[in-house]
Chains A and B, each alone.
Chain A
Amino acid sequence: MSTVSEPDRAERTEAAQPEDTTDAVLQQSQSKLGELAAQHTPVPEEQREPVLRLDGVTVSYSGAPAVCDVTMDVFRYQVTAFIGPSGCGKTTLLRSLNRMNDLITGATVDGRITYHGHDLYGSAVDPVEVRRRIGMVFQRPNPFPKSIFDNVAFGLRLHGMKDNLDERVETALSKAALWDEVKDRLNKSALALSGGQQQRLCIARALAIEPEIVLMDEPASALDPIATQRIEDLVGELKRDYTIVIVTHNMQQAARVADMTAFFSVDVKDGGHRNGVLVEYAPTADLFIRPADSRTEAYVTGRFG
């Protein structure tokens, strides 16, 4: 339990009974988050190897900043979670990491994002190559209306990775923990799969083209608890081979799967313009147990806003 909130709690016990009950529940849930978060053994700082570096990144839509001045590193073979309230720009930021924002007219990225030292938005950079190395899984499963096999083979054919196509498809499906469920019906439509299976298919599809980083935008938010757990287990396994950035609304999910967690919040400027800011970025256990910023603490204890 946080040392910061202990005396706070004692005071409240005298002050107001009902509030104390809510607080007790909140603190209990926070301690649960802490327990979950404490399960990760943080990689010592000097051993972390940055893959993506964000330096003063601001993403704007038609000139209006959605998320401002983010500076952080994404480390290799780590799961990095973006958490925060709705509208804090975490999805916007995620989409700027593989140039998916290019597709939105009026979206601009200022500041610098480098991938192994190369500017992601450099003038000679091909967004197609960026997206091959930095894959993405979306909030809602979006398999193509094709067979299971063709869904996974899509990217492989696209990038000319057609040697051992069958083998590559099997490997990708196995990595996504889906092979056993679909190996007998590879030629059936992907739309016949359940939501959770569809999402794992989308993960397999992304893994097939051998990206280095996989971005996941609330990959379990449209799924039931069991399917969610499978996705979380999968994320835990995938980090052996991939670097993962995951956006989530669910703090418990962040505490369970992430090694590093970035907390974003909404800043309301004069004139009412709202934009997201990075409040705190730390190893998950630190962020949930010893948040350095009072806004983080308010959020993880459920007293946000």
Chain B
Amino acid sequence: MSAVGNPLVSRGRRARRRKLTGQIMEVLATAAALLAAAALAIVIITVAKRAAPALNVDFFTQNAAPFGGAGGGIENAIVGTLIITGIATAIALPAGVLLAIFNTEFAPRRLADLISLTLNVLAGVPTIVIGVFIFALVVVGRGQSAFAGSLGLSIVMLPLVARASEEVLRLVPSHLREGGMALGATRARTVITVILPTAIGGIVTATIVAVARAAGETAPLLFTTSIFVGTAVNTDPSQAMASIPMVIFSYSESPDPHAQQQAWAAALVLVAVVLVGSIAGRLLSLRTRRQIEQVR
């Protein structure tokens, strides 16, 4: 059939140009998406390749070799990172969730907007600034400690936890709140017994993502828990503690090729933590959204 008489087929220069523009935009957008994926792939592949020679069981189960000697692992740094992020989570999680609850359930509209804005700004503060801030506030006069590092990380985590929790809490339909209150529950009681259990999946997700992010932060630790960390496992948070990001930072500057390999291996561990955390968070949040859909 000839297209000439078909009213559904567009003709003319304008139509051709429209079509061309559409195709160019599509190609550009696809290229941008591929670029992002490629950047991630290149980072992971490079890190993995350079890390390979240093990766073995000893790397995870032995402490750092004294005085930069050969052998040894980063057990002390792994334990350090676990403790530092653990304490940071213990601070940021309750604070962030309470903030989100206040914002969604209790705060008047204007105050809630103001708090959201504050959180957005806080999330955008460069981590090095947070590091310096904690340094001036806690470290000067008292010396470095894992606790000071945790405090810095908790400031990084707080807006992440609070904003993501707020998002999930807003997803919980208001008819559940009404249901609770119609039975004579107070607002607070309804939040604890109905709203939080419904949103808990999303809050866990937010926490996982925030932990993954905090575990990789370096700047807040640089000023707070980086020197005299020793080479053995330390579990006292009042002392400076080794951590994975600091291992990467200091080993990568070492002239010793073995130390450099260890820096790469530590980097791979960190990338793996962030990747696993993000993917787990993603899967969990899909599940939560489906669950909440069911209630809506």
Contact = CB atoms under 8 A, between A and B. Distances in A.
> Are A and B genuine complex partners?
yes
A140 B174 CA distance: 12
Interface in B172-197: 173, 175-186, 189, 193-194, 197
B184 A100 contact: no
A131 B176 contact: no
A145 B197 contact: yes
Interface string A136-170: 10101011111000000011001100000000000
B198 interface: yes
Contacts of A209: 183-184
Interface in B146-205: 173, 175-186, 189, 193-194, 197-198
Contacts of B21: none
Contacts of B176: 142, 144-145
A154 B183 contact: yes
A103 B105 CA distance: 11
Contacts of B177: 103
Contact of B184 (A131, A142, A146, A202): A131
A144 B179 contact: yes
A132 B295 contact: no
A131 B189 CA distance: 14
Nearest to B295: A145
Contacts of A129: 184
A131 B183 contact: yes
A4 to B, nearest CB: 41
A157 B213 CA distance: 40
B182 A158 contact: no
Contact of A142 (B178, B189, B294): B178
A103 B181 contact: yes
Nearest to B291: A145
B108 interface: yes
A155 B179 CA distance: 10
Given A155-B183, A155-B184, A138 B175 contact: yes
Nearest to A144: B194
Given A145-B197, A145-B295, A128 B179 contact: no
A158 B183 CA distance: 8
Contacts of A140: 175
Contact of B181 (A100, A143, A146, A206): A100
A100 B177 CA distance: 11
A186 B175 CA distance: 23
Contacts of A38: none
A206 B184 contact: no
B263 to A, nearest CB: 47
A38 B177 CA distance: 40
A191 interface: yes
Contacts of B295: 145, 191
Interface of B: 108, 173, 175-186, 189, 193-194, 197-198, 291, 294-295
Interface of A: 98, 100, 103, 105, 128-129, 131-132, 135-136, 138, 140, 142-146, 154-155, 158-159, 191, 202, 205-206, 209
19 contacts: A100-B182, A128-B186, A132-B183, A138-B179, A142-B179, A144-B180, A145-B176, A145-B291, A145-B295, A154-B183, A154-B193, A155-B183, A155-B184, A158-B185, A158-B189, A191-B294, A205-B179, A205-B183, A209-B183
